[in-house]
Amino acid sequence: MGLTYKENVADTRETPTGSIIEELHQYMVKLYGYDCLLNDIKEEFGIKGISNLGELTGVDCLIINVNHDIFRRITLVDLKAITDANPVLIDIHRLFDESEAKQMGFHYKSL
């Protein structure tokens, strides 16, 4: 979630997302990208882009890389609905409250 260089900007020129994707591909991870500011995630990053988080089910891990304002409308309940029983939530810039995330069953990590 959030593939651009910084929040609320559709610029991907210096985003660290490409490096993260490359690293995860080495582990044969199936990846999806969600960013409301980008039109062609597949062309830009080589992964399947989704336009609605509700398209997903059974997600093992969510990485929130950039906190776009629109992401503030998403709740932990929304995220839990698309994940498996023991999901990992990597919340780079602390969009969500750690204790609340852990109470909901997420393995929460942040910077």
Number of domains comprising the chain: 1
Q: Please list, in sequence order, all residues whose beta carbon lies within 8 angstroms of the beta carbon of residue 64, skipping any fewer than 6 positions away.
A: 1, 2, 71, 89, 90, 91, 92, 93, 95, 96
Domain for residue 84, yes or no? yes
Query: What's the confidence (pLDDT) of residue 111?
Result: 87
Exposure of 82 in the CB half-sphere (CA atoms within 13 A): 16
Domain for residue 41, yes or no? yes
Domain that holds residue 27: 17-109
Domain for residue 10, yes or no? no
Domain for residue 91, yes or no? yes
CATH number where 48 lies: 3.40.50.720
Q: What is the pLDDT of residues 52-105, one digit of tens each?
A: 999 999 999 999 999 999 999 999 999 999 999 999 999 999 999 999 999 999
Domain for residue 53, yes or no? yes
Domain for residue 4, yes or no? no
pLDDT for 47 beyond 90: yes
Domain for residue 8, yes or no? no
pLDDT for 45 beyond 90: yes
